[in-house]
Structure formats: C-alpha cells, structure tokens
Chain A
Amino acid sequence: MSQSNSVIAVKNLSKRYSIGQIGSADDCMKYNPPGLRHAIEDFVRHPLAWWKRRKIKNEHFWALQDVSFDVNAGDVVAVIGRNGAGKSTMLKVLSRITEPTAGRIEITGRIASLLEIGTGFHAELTGRENIFLNGAILGMTHAEIKRKFDEIVAFSEIERFLDTPVKRYSSGMYVRLAFSVAAHLEPDILIVDEVLAVGDTAFQKKCLGKMQDVSRNDGRTVLFVSHNMSAVLQLTTRAVVLEQGRVIYHGPTDQAVERYVGIIGSDSTVFFPVEKLPRKFRGAGAVRFVSFRFDRAVPIFSPGEDFKFVARVRAHESTPRVRFSMTIFTREGAPIGTCFGVERPGLRRGEDLEFEISMPRLPLASGYYCCGVSVGKGDNRSGMVDFDTILDTLAFEVRAEEGEAGTVAEWARGWGSIMLPNLKYRPLLQDRTPEKTLNNSEMLPA
C-alpha cells in the first residue's frame, strides 16, 4: 500500500467513553451527566473529594482500540462488524463529530459524511427551503446548491410539492428529497452510514445505483458502513472488519464478509448477556433486557420445530403492560420477518423476571440466523412504544433433519429463507367438453 496514494490514513486510533451509572435505567455507553444538583451538592459537601473525583470519573469503555488502516484514493471501502463493534464511533471520529482519545487520522481532500439523511431538515420549512438548508449543513456553498438545484429536484421526483412544508410529505417523499440532496454532494471522500436502510425498494435501488456511479465514474473514495452484506458485496471492493473496537481484518470484501459471517457464526453460545451492550435504538428504558438464553445446549433448530428462548428483563419503572416482539434476520443482515406477541400484565419497578418466549413451528429453511428482540407496549391502535431493543442476538442455526416426512430436506438457497406452508390442491369440477379439456383431463385424478 503506497503511502502517497492513501487519502485516509488511520493510525493507532482509540476512543474511550465513560460509562455512567451502570445498572440504572440509563446504562447506555455514554457518559451520563450527573445533574446540576448533584454537581453542586458534591461540591458543597466535600470540596476536596469533588476535586479528586473530577479526575477519576467513571468506568471506562474503549469503543475503539488501536485501530489502524489506510484507504486509497478511489477505493470503496466497507466497514463491517457487529453492533457495538465500534463502527459508528469510527465514523463519528472520522467525520469529526467527536474527538479521538488517542491516535491520529490524516485525510486528504474534501470530506463529507452522511451519518443520517435529512439531518437538519425542518418540518416547518418547504422542500425548497430544506434543500438549501440541508445543502449548507452538508457543506455545500450557496452557489453550488443553486447550480444543482434542478438536478436535485428531478432526482427526488417531488417537483409538485416543492413549496409544501415537509411536515406534509409522506415519509417516502421525505426520504427521497433528503437522499437527493446528499447524493449531489461532490466531496472527494464520502462517508456513508446505513442510509440505505430507508425508503422503498425501488428508491433503494436508485440510491445504490447512484452510489455506484459516484465511485466508478467520478473516482471518489467512499467509506460505507452497513449491515446489509449484499449491498456491501455489491458496492465495495475492500472492507475493514471491526470486532470489539479492533480491526480484525482488512482486505478484499468477499473475504472480509466471510470473516464477518465467521465471527457471528462461530459462537455456538446459547447464553447472551445483553445488559451492558450498547443499544442501537435507544428505547424508552422502562424495561430492559438483561440476558437471553436458548433452552438447549447448541443453538440448532429443525425446520418446523417450536422456536423457544428465555428472556430475562428488569423493570426500571413500573409498567402496566408489556409486549415482546422479534425480528429474524439472516446472518447477512437481511430481515426475514417479524412477529409480535400480545400484551400481558407488566412489571413492578425493580422486578426481575424471566419469560419463556416461543414461536410455534419455525418456518425457516436451513441456514444461519439471528434475532432482534424488543420489549415494549401498545399496538398499532394505541401507539407502540419500545422500551428496549437488542439486535444481532440469539444467533442460531436451522438444520434440516434428513428424511423428514412431508418436507423437502434439501432446500436450495434460491428458494428463500422462509418455508411457506405446503401447497394444497384439489380438483375443481369442470364440464368436460372433450375438445377444450382433453389434455387437462388426462392429468386430473379421476
């Protein structure tokens, strides 16, 4: 790797977070300010102790540890890893949102980061106004936005609603407009974080196409973080695999994806302590997951078997009702399906409970899967609230037993992951006019 050619050089990068008050309702991987009252009280009561405590604050957590890699000009590089592996932190440090604790990054060229699309969009402003505002936030100059304005509008397909406040937009329109602005940025280096997880499929394809154009035709460098392995394989040539804040692989994408699937496939654990995991979605926090476990020694299920696991939850606040839901993903990160349970009486504050959660007749074909599990309350009618969501957990394998009656044991990958219910057929009574149904009638059972 020639030093002169690299546009991003990351050397021994580390980032440390303090973990505030573990075990409280807010045990997320961020520093929790203790509140003004405590700060003042501490200071007034024990000025000396307060001064000392300032130095040794809380427990530390290394989100990134000694990370080094280079990205060459024109490369499209994926950053992959499990939740909590440090991907988001890395992007935040690269886009200067937060400072590293140690280490050094050298970036050559104009850089733009898209950690979210539609950042800074204001609901009250019209589409036109938001294009200018969002453009400025992403680092475009006024002249640049003006020059590209028509292009942006055309790409977003919202011409008619340009002067409507975006709060009246459908979510699809909103996302389209937001992506269009972002897609017309012209940086030398683009940092993208899972923005493709939004919008309808047609628009997603358009976005992927646009990203491909950007990298292939304009020779720009793209750093792309995603869980969607098919998008990663499609778009990128090289990848960095992060695990627990460290780089465990850096090289061609297909091998990196193999490595990644390897890590999440390798653990044949049946117990998943999740209490201290960082949360991707910060829920309301009234009830939080402590751990999950499977009811067996190896996490292997047969197709059609009842899927069962035990979830341990802790209530930080009393809740009248709780409801669990679960989404099953392929190991590559594609969601397969989601199921909800009905609400049941809730928990009292401080209560620690285990629930056996089961789904009858797992309709999955052989393969590797993992789950996202949520605890919350409400339904579509009363409004849903998620207290806590854990992704990338409960990794399991489905393995078809040989010679099982009634099902096809060998399942081709191209058939998809879900085993839909068996087909049923029955002959319908037809008038058998010989010239019309002559051929068919031969095949019908008598």
Chain B
Amino acid sequence: MTQTLIIEAGRTERQYWRDLWKFRELFYFLAWRDFLIRYKQTFVGIAWALVRPLLMMLALTMVGKIGKMPTGGAPAALFFFCGLLPWQFFSTAMSESGNSLVTNANLVSKIYFPRLVVPASSVIVGFVDFLISAGFLVLLMFYCHFTPPPQIIFLPLFVALIFAISMGIGFWIAALTVEYRDFKFVIPFVVQFGIFVSGVFPLPAHAAEHWRLLFSVNPLVGIIDGFRWSLLGGGNVVPFPELAVSVAVTVFFVFSGLWYFRKMERTFADVI
C-alpha cells in the first residue's frame, strides 16, 4: 500500500517518469493558469490570439504583392497565413517556455515536481493559440473559396512535427535560461529574424535549389513548407530530402532537449 520513497544522489532518474505521470494534473493546471492569465485585463482578450497573426498576415501579404512573390498558385493571404500559423506557434512556445522556469522560480525553489511540466505547459498554451488561429484559417479559406488539396490528410503529421520541435527547443532554452539569462535577449531577436530564414517570408536564396537543403537544417523550413503543401498544394511542394532533414533535426532536438533538461534539472533549485 504505502510505497517507500528513496532519496539518494542520482536516484531521481528512476522515479522521474512515474512522477511525471503522477503530476499530470499539475501539468493541466499550469497550462490552464497560463492560459487564464495570458489575456487577463486585456480589452479584446482572447482575440489577441487572432489579431497578432492577422496583422502579420496583412503586412506580409502587402509586401508580397508588391514584390510579386510566387505563392504557388494560392491566394497570397492564404500563402502567408499558412506559413505564419506554425511560425507563431513555434515562436510563442519558444519565448514562453524559455522564460517559464525563471518566471516560476518560486515554484521551482519551494516545491518538488518534475520540472519538465513547466516548459511543456507553456508550449500547450501556445498550442491553444495555434488552434484558435487554425480555426480562423478555415474561415479564411471559405472566404477565398479555396478548396484544400487531398494531401490535407497529412496535416496532422506536420502539426505533430511543429509541436515536437517547439517542445525540444523549449526544453533547451528553458534549461539554458536558468543558468544563462542571456537567452532572455537572444530569443526576441531570433523570433524577429526567424520569419525570413524559416520560409514564412521566403527569401530569393531560399527558392534556389542548391541552397534549399542547407536552409532546411532549420527544421522550421521543412515544416512550414509541409504546412503549405498539405493545405494549399499547387506549386507549394516539400521535397523529400528537405522533409527528411527537418524530421531528423526535430527528433534530434527533442531528445537532446530532454537529455539536457534532465541533466540540468537537478541543480535548478540551487542555481535559479
């Protein structure tokens, strides 16, 4: 009935995954809390989840139209929104989970729970925003009288990929920020710059064949192309090598993120 808990140096490893399951309710509550407070005391509230990508879409569409950017036959607004959708999720998840441990420092230094819960629940909050924006995409498609191609059945794969890379990078940044607060300053920069190197707003070099594979070392490139391919089709393709590189890099980041987070976790309470 009553189990015995053993605390020893280096022992936590064995109980960790069981604890993670035991603390699943905390995970749910933290995500719920972050979501509640995210739009508290704001005038338009949850609509911010829409307004941000919408404004970005308008801006990008305008620039894209002026520059006569190829959109693979899809309406420019849809083209850019399909790119922004995963990008916004990734960037929100990255910045929120990056800061999550530091903003929850009082929890970390006073209560035991698997710390993985904290950045993971931040990613979930970003995911809720993502779902709201996705709902808007459906409306936008109706408005443009656009019928998605049959390969839309592959969409869940790309959603899973963007979710995975957000988690992986989130674990890395969260653990690094605990020790090196420098990342507080690095992340906003990455978020601003990323739009151009991830293919949300494709640069000419991005379209050139011989550069393409190199670009796809950034896993977002393959994932965003994948979103466009499955949602818009037409001239939007995701070459297999590019996708393979993206998947490989994503898997690498998920596992290395977990490894690094677990390694650093035991000292969080002392360092934070």
A residues with a Cβ closer than 8 A to B are: 17, 30-31, 33, 35-37, 39, 92-111, 113, 115-116, 119-120, 122, 124-125, 129, 132-133, 136-138, 141-142, 165, 188
Q: In chain B between 36 and 55, which residues have their CB closer than 8 angstroms to a CB of chain A?
A: 36-37, 40-41
Q: What would 29 A/B residue contacts be, using CB atoms closer than 8 Å?
A: A31-B271, A33-B179, A33-B271, A95-B111, A96-B7, A96-B12, A97-B111, A99-B7, A99-B12, A99-B266, A101-B9, A102-B9, A104-B6, A105-B6, A107-B5, A108-B2, A108-B4, A110-B2, A113-B112, A116-B106, A120-B104, A120-B106, A122-B37, A125-B36, A133-B29, A133-B32, A136-B26, A137-B113, A142-B25
CB neighbours (8 Å) of B25 from chain A are 136, 141-142
Known: A31-B270, A104-B8, A124-B36. 6 other contacts (CB 8 A): A36-B180, A99-B12, A102-B9, A104-B7, A133-B29, A136-B29
Select one of A33, A105, A113, A132 contacting B29, CB under 8 A.
Answer: A132
What's the least CB distance linking B112 to chain A, in Å?
4
Give the shortest distance, in Å, between A439 (CB) and chain B (any CB): 64
A356 to chain B, nearest CB (A): 38
Binding site for A on B (CB under 8 A): 2-12, 25-26, 28-29, 32-33, 36-37, 40-41, 104, 106-113, 179-180, 182-183, 266-267, 269-271
Instruction: Determine whether the beta carbon of B36 is less than 8 Å from that of A109.
Output: no
Contact at A115–B182, with CB atoms within 8 Å? no
Looking at the complex, which one of B9, B108, B109, B111 makes contact with A99 (CB distance below 8 Å)?
A: B9
| Cα separation A132 to B26 with both chains bound (whole Å) | 10
Q: Which residue of B lies closest to A108 (CB)?
A: B4
Is the Cβ of A97 less than 8 Å from the Cβ of B271?
no
Give Cα A119–Cα B36 distance, bound, in whole angstroms.
Answer: 18
Closest residue on chain A to residue B186 by CB atoms: A36
Q: Which 10 A-B pairs have the closest CB atoms?
A: A96-B112, A36-B180, A136-B29, A105-B7, A36-B182, A107-B5, A98-B269, A33-B179, A97-B269, A124-B37
A98 and B266: CB pair below 8 A? yes
Shortest CB distance B68–A (Å): 43
B45 CB, nearest partner CB in chain A, Å: 13
- Say whether B7 contacts A93, CB under 8 Å: yes
B107, closest chain A residue (CB): A120
Q: Are A119 and B107 in contact (CB under 8 A)?
A: yes
Task: Identify the closest chain B residue to A17 (Cβ).
Answer: B270
Q: How far is the CA of A99 from the CA of B263 in the complex (A)?
A: 12
Interchain CA distance A33-B179 in the complex, whole Å: 6
**Nearest CB on A from B135, distance (A):** 26
Contact of A106 with B271 in the complex, beta carbons under 8 Å = no
Closest CB in chain A relative to B108 CB, distance in Å: 8
Which chain A residue has the least Cβ–Cβ distance from B15?
Answer: A96
Would you give the shortest CB distance from B268 to chain A, in whole angstroms? Answer: 8
**For residue A98, which residues in chain B have a CB less than 8 angstroms away from its CB?**
266-267, 269-270
* Distance between Cα atoms of A111 and B2 in the complex (Å): 11
Chain A: CB-nearest residue to B265: A99
Instruction: List chain B residues, Cβ under 8 A from A92.
Output: 269
A6 to B: closest C-beta gap in Å: 11
Q: Which of A92, A101, A102, A141 has the most CB of B within 10 A?
A: A92
Task: Say whether, besides A35-B180, A136-B25, A30 and B111 are in contact (CB < 8 Å).
Answer: no
Contact residues in A for B41 (Cβ distance below 8 Å): 124
Instruction: Report yes or no: A97 in contact with B110, Cβ–Cβ below 8 A.
Output: yes
* Alpha-carbon separation in the docked complex, A319 to B224 (Å): 53
* Smallest Cβ-Cβ distance to B104: which chain A residue: A120
The answer to whether B110 and A119 have CB atoms under 8 Å apart is yes
The smallest beta-carbon distance between A109 and chain B, in angstroms, is 5
Q: Which of B10, B110, B113 contacts A115 (CB 8 A)?
A: B110
Interface residue from B5, B111, B269 paired with A106 (Cβ < 8 Å)? B5
Nearest residue (CB) in A for B33 is A133
Shortest distance in angstroms between A182's beta carbon and chain B's nearest beta carbon?
A: 11
Nearest Cβ distance between residue A208 and chain B, in whole angstroms? 22
CB closest chain-B residue, reference A38: B180
Report B-chain residues with C-beta under 8 Å of the C-beta of A109: 2
Return chain B residues, CB-CB under 8 Å to A124. Answer: 36-37, 40-41
Cα–Cα, bound, A20→B188 (Å)? 30
**B224 to nearest A CB, angstroms?**
29
Q: How far is the CB of B126 from chain A (nearest CB, A)?
A: 19
A39–B180 CB distance below 8 A: yes
Give every chain A residue within 8 A of B32 (Cβ-Cβ).
133
A129-B179 in contact given A97-B110, A99-B12, A113-B111 (Cβ < 8 Å): no
B108 closest partner in A (C-beta): A97
Using CB atoms, name the residue of chain A closest to B27.
A136
By a CB distance below 8 angstroms, the chain A residues around B8 are 100, 103-105
Most buried by A among B7, B26, B109: B7
Instruction: Give the residue of A30, A106, A119, A132 whose beta carbon is less than 8 angstroms from that of B4.
Output: A106
Give the distance in Å from the alpha carbon of A111 to the alpha carbon of B113 in the complex.
12
Chain A residue at smallest Cβ distance from B112? A96
CA separation between A377 and B179, bound complex, in Å? 30
Q: In the complex, what residues of A have CB within 8 A of residue B10's CB?
A: 99
A95 to B12, CA, bound (A): 12
Q: CB-CB < 8 A to A102: which residues of B?
A: 9
Please name all residues of chain B whose beta carbon is closer than 8 Å to the beta carbon of A95 when the two chains form the complex.
Answer: 111-112
Nearest-CB residue, chain B, relative to A189? B5
Q: How far, in Å, is A410 (CB) from chain B's closest CB?
A: 47
CA distance A122 to B179 in the complex (A): 24
Task: Check if B271 sits within 8 Å of A122, measured CB to CB.
Answer: no
Let me know if A119 and B106 touch, CB within 8 A.
yes
Asked if residues B271 and A30 are in contact (CB atoms below 8 Å), the reply is: yes
Chain A residues lying within 8 Å of B113, measured Cβ to Cβ, are: 137
Q: How far is the CA of A93 from the CA of B108 in the complex (A)?
A: 13
Given A97-B112, A116-B110, A111:B37 Cβ within 8 A: no
Question: Which residues of A are found within 8 Å of B183, using beta-carbon distances?
Answer: 36
> Judging by beta carbons under 8 Å apart, are B112 and A122 in contact?
no
What residue in chain B is nearest A11 (Cβ atoms)? B8
Contacts of B112 in A (CB 8 A): 95-97, 113
User: Contact at B26–A137, with CB atoms within 8 Å?
Assistant: yes
A97 touches B109 (CB 8 A): yes
- Judging by beta carbons under 8 Å apart, are A138 and B5 in contact? no
Find chain B residues with CB under 8 A from A99 CB.
Answer: 7, 9-12, 266
Chain B hits for A141, CB < 8 A:
25
Residues of B near A36 (CB, < 8 A) are: 180, 182-183
Residues of B within 8 Å of A103, CB to CB, are 8-9
